[in-house]
Amino acid sequence: MKNVLCAKCVKCGKTYAATPNLTNCACGGILDIVYDYEYIKQNLTKEKLKSRPHTMWRYRELLPVEESTPDTPLRVGWSPLYEADRLGELLGVKKLWIKDDGQNPTASLKDRASAMAVAKAQEAGAKIIACSSTGNAASSLAGNAAAAGLRTFIFVPERAPKGKVAQLMTFGANVISVQGNYEETFELSKKAIDKWGWYNRNAAINPYLSEGKKTVSLEIAEQLDWKMPDYLAISVGDGCTIAGVWKGLKDLYAIGFIDKLPRLISAQAEGCHPINRAIAENKPWAPMEENTLADSIAVGVPRNADKALMAIRESNGIAVNVTDEEIMAAQKLLGTTCGVFGEPAGVTGTAGLKKLCEQGIIGKDDTVVSVVTGNGLKDVANAIKFCGEPMKLPNDLDALVAEIGKRGLKTE
Ligand X SMILES: *Cc1c(COP(=O)(O)O)cnc(C)c1O
Residue 200 contacts ligand X per CB under 6 A: no
CB 216 within 8 A of CB 99: yes
If one asks whether residue 7 binds Zn ion (CB under 5 A), the answer comes out as no
**Site residues (CB under 5 A) for Zn ion, limited to 268-287:** none
Stretch that binds ligand X, among 30-38, 144-152, 225-233, 339-347 (CB under 6 A): 339-347
Q: Is the dihedral of CA 265, 271, 273, 276 positive or negative?
A: positive
The answer to whether the beta carbons of residues 146 and 167 sit under 8 Å apart is no
Reported residue count of the chain is 412
How many angstroms from the chain centroid is the CA of residue 356?
A: 21
State the binding partner of 375 from ligand X, Zn ion, none, CB within 5 to 8 A by kind.
none
The DSSP-derived string for 303-362 is: TTHHHHHHHHHHTT-EEEEE-HHHHHHHHHHHHHHH---B-HHHHHHHHHHHHHHHTTSS
Which SS3 state, helix, strand or coil, does residue 236 take?
Answer: coil
Query: Sheet containing 231-235: which strands, arranged edge to edge?
Result: 81-83, 95-100, 367-372, 231-235, 263-269, 318-322
Q: Which does 374 bind (CB under 5 to 8 A by kind): ligand X, Zn ion, none?
A: ligand X
Which range, of 3-11, 214-222, 230-238, 253-261, touches Zn ion by CB under 5 A?
3-11
| 235 lies in the site for ligand X, by CB under 6 A | yes
Residue 239 as a binder of ligand X (CB under 6 A): the answer is: yes
Give yes or no for a contact between 261 and 316, defined as CB atoms under 8 angstroms apart: no
Q: Which is nearer to Zn ion, 12 or 393 (CB)?
A: 12
Q: How far is the CB of 349 from ligand X (least distance, A)?
A: 8
Strand order in the sheet with 128-132: 174-178, 151-157, 128-132, 199-200
161 sits near ligand X (criterion: CB under 6 A): no
> Per CB under 6 A, which region of 18-26, 236-244, 281-289, 404-412 contacts ligand X?
236-244
- 32 binds, options Zn ion, ligand X, none, Cβ within 5 to 8 A by partner type: none
Is 206 a binding residue for ligand X by CB under 6 A? The answer is no
Q: Which residue of 343, 352, 370, 379 would you call a contact of ligand X, by CB under 6 A? A: 343
25 binds, among ligand X, Zn ion, none (CB under 5 to 8 A by kind): Zn ion
- 11 interface partner picked from ligand X, Zn ion, none, CB below 5 to 8 A per type: Zn ion
Q: Pick between residue 229 and residue 300 the one whose CB is nearest to ligand X.
A: 300
Judged by CB under 5 A, the number of residues near Zn ion is 7
Q: How far is CA 405 from CA 198, 263, 392, 400, 408, in A?
A: 62, 48, 15, 8, 5
> For ligand X, which stretch binds (CB under 6 A), given 5-13, 163-171, 235-243, 393-401?
235-243
C-alpha 153/C-alpha 354 separation (Å) is 39
Q: Does 370 bind ligand X (CB under 6 A)?
A: no
Name the amino acid, one letter, at 68: S
- Restricting to residues 12-31, which ones interact with Zn ion according to CB under 5 A? 12, 14, 25, 27, 29
Q: Does 379 contact ligand X by CB under 6 A?
A: no
Instruction: Choose one: 1-9, 90-98, 244-252, 308-316; the region binding Zn ion (CB under 5 A).
Output: 1-9
Give residues 103-132 in contact with ligand X (rule: CB under 6 A): 108, 110
Map the footprint of ligand X across residues 282-301, applying CB under 6 A.
Answer: 296-297, 299
Residue 16 buriedness (CB in 10 A; 0-12 / 13-18 / 19+):
middle
Alpha helices per DSSP H over 124-271: 136-148, 162-170, 182-196, 209-213, 215-223, 240-254
Site string for ligand X, 346-365 (x = CB under 6 A): x-------------------
Quote the CA–CA distance of 206 and 344 in Å, as a whole number.
26
Angle made by CA atoms 325, 326, 327, in degrees to the nearest 5: 90
Stretch that binds ligand X, among 12-20, 74-82, 233-241, 399-407 (CB under 6 A): 233-241
- Applying CB under 6 A, among 64, 163, 262, 374 the residue interacting with ligand X is 374
Burial of 198 from C-beta contacts in 10 A (0-12 / 13-18 / 19+): buried
Smallest gap from residue 10 Cβ to Zn ion (A): 8
Cα separation of 304 and 215, whole Å?
18
Binding site for ligand X (CB under 6 A): 108, 110, 136, 203, 235-242, 296-297, 299, 343, 345-346, 373-374
Residues of the shown chain interacting with Zn ion in the complex, contacts defined by CB under 5 A:
9, 11-12, 14, 25, 27, 29
